Amino acid sequence: MADAETLLQEVSTYLKPKDVEHIRQALEFSGNAHKGQLRKSGDPYISHPIAVARILTPLHLDAQAIMAALLHDVVEDTHISNEEVAKKFGKSVAELVDGLSKLDKIEFETSEDAQAENFRKMLLAMARDVRVILIKLADRLHNMRTLESMSREKCERISRETMEIYAPIANRLGLNAIYQELEELSFRHLHPNRYAVLSKALKVARGNRREVVGKILEAITQRLKENHVIAQVQGREKHLYGIYKKMQAKSLAFSEVLDIYGFRILVEDIPSCYLALGVLHGLYKPIPGKFKDYIAIPKGNGYQSLHTTLFGPYGTPIEVQIRTTEMHRIAEAGVASHWLYKNTETPINDLQKKTHQWLQSLLESLSQSGSSVEFLEHLKVDLFPDEVYVFTPKGKILALPRGATAVDFAYSVHTDIGNRCVAAKVNFELVPLRTELRNGDRVEIITAAHAKPNPAWLSYVITSKARSQIRHVLKTMHFDESTRLGERLLNQAFASLGVKPQDIDESQWEKLVKDTTAKSREEILADIGLGRRLNMVIARQLARMSESGTHELPSSGVITIQGTEGLAVQFAKCCRPIPGDPIIGVIKHGQGLIVHTHDCPMLRKGRGSTGEWLDVTWDRHINKPFDVNIKLIVANQRGVLAKAAAAIAESESNIENVHFTNEGDYTTLYFTLQVNNRMHLANVMRSLRKIPEVVRITRVKSVPA
């Protein structure tokens, strides 16, 4: 087969004869395994693995990777097992093949679950060995090149998957040529009519602008030569999907996209980059705000270059990239530069380090995701291409996705910093944690030893690391708190049965765990705390096992509320109970214990009646602020709101929220205040009554939950 011989010739240019022989054996093995199989196009199946291997040879991947590319479908599509591959070609090749094989033997509820689990498996293998994803990208590229034989529906599904996952991964790894071709092919199959129209328009424009482009190329080359800058100047046409994205983002017609053609200048060293930039700005005026220095601050995938946009002749904008030859190699090959240019140590080491950090963050996200679908959601967020560059207080540069907040920054510095952050300073000014960061911001995170993540953070963090860490901590906190509450509820049930908790030994607990198919004693207690199991049922089961259970009528056990139970005990927002109020508890399934006032309107209407009702009482030594709602009717006079705020502050209370409604001569003010107990609230209300403009003041207990 001609393609097979061409492959062997290509690998022989950079591999040893012994390695080439191993590749020949893998080629024969794969050919025999796929014998008689045809692709949808009618071509022999072996043509596909050969094409995949040939996509990798320009990157000079090692013999093991080329062999794995040739064998990547044998385990999935033939009778060959992974053990046979390991025996014949070695453990490393078998591991690469295994990382590329789909999970066809496992049944999933939906195709989305199956797809997500396949990505999860592939990316786990990729984190161990980056060659897995390089082979997978080559596999996907060849499939995209030969997609015409598929049904329209399958064609669109594969193209969308490529656009959302594979192209961004190629971009993240700096594989520029593969990334652009994957995007282009996906665009062609997802929007065939738009692709055809734009393609035709681009050919026409290319012909019309050939003379202008030639003049600009000549002028740049001449001016660089006059200033003794040794450089290669190349024309660079934007790829079709890039033009389409620009048209969509800025709502432009094709005729309005003037910068479809750009230039690339390759120089010897970094100082020459900035010298060439100065020469260009002297030749054509730069467009303000269109300069980017990716040399001083490289992109996350290791890309380095100077970008500038100039006013060219006839008012045509010209995009120019200026970089060294070394930067150009890395820009084209990305992480694969490790194999392609082994003699260029420093930049590639930096690139490998960045790639390793990204893969480690993927592993963290993988270990803390509750499901494969959740992990896939994290991955899509993480592949978001636009970045902002911010500084730590020590001047270190961090790259974050556009839209990242101060909390995202905190987690990118260190997980512990994120978990304990309480405030942030951006450019030396205190800002809310939800503040979006901008290029060049200096960010400082303020932490507290006992601080914990807030569930509200999930509504505005965008990095996968921050999201997965917050979810992980909240799940752990919820479990621990629910376990403690469950233990208190179970002890209350024991008291009502006349059973002492210490009379229940470990063997009885082990039997109960086995009978209930729970994983542990703590899981049963957490389920009681979350209302998933009834404390009385569990207590009776354990009491029946206990020889010392007396079943006498109890002294009623009352749950003591301390106010610091966190997620396991919630205070109903409909009535906002505070220490001193008579209270009652309701255990709701999946929510834990919800505390209401005895006269809560929602309970009277029956809305809070679902669940188990419990007697609860306040702890005597609570020292924690609680939210409470009050309503003031005041005469419409200047400065009345300021007087009310001053009176509240003097009573040592904080205002959490305020809003008002205007009704002619009177205004109704609604405050949410923080008070310690009923006596504190009474003091606040007494202070407010002294204001002459206050007509009426009441505590509000009928806010909908």
Cβ atoms of 423 and 432 within 8 Å: the answer is no
CA-based torsion, 6, 8, 10, 13: positive or negative: negative
Q: Are strands 559-561 and 612-618 parallel, antiparallel or unpaired?
A: parallel
Q: Judge whether 270 and 277 are in contact, CB under 8 Å.
A: no
Query: What DSSP line would sit under 530-582, residue for residue?
Result: TTSS-HHHHHHHHHHH-TT---PPPPPP-EEE-S--TTSEEE-TTT---TTS-
Ordered alpha helix ranges (H), 57-129: 63-71, 74-77, 82-89, 91-100, 111-128
Alpha helices in 209-344, H assignment, sequence order: 210-226, 240-250, 270-283, 325-333, 337-340
**Among 62, 77, 161, 436, which one carries the catalytic annotation?**
77
Q: Which residue has the tokens 């470990």?
A: 506
> Do residues 484 and 565 touch, judged by C-beta distance below 8 A?
yes
CA 49 to chain centre: 33
Instruction: Please give the single-letter amino acid code of residue 248.
Output: Q
Q: How far apart are CA 411 and CA 426, in angstroms?
A: 16
Q: Tell me which residue of 359, 389, 373, 362 sits closest to 464, measured CA to CA.
A: 362
Per the structure block, which two tokens stand in for 241?
């999907």
**Set 43, 76, 226, 269: catalytic member:** 76
Question: What is the bridge-based pairing of β-strands 429-431 and 421-426?
Answer: antiparallel
First CA to last CA distance, the chain: 73
Is 76 one of the catalytic residues?
Answer: yes
- Catalytic sites, residue numbers: 76-77
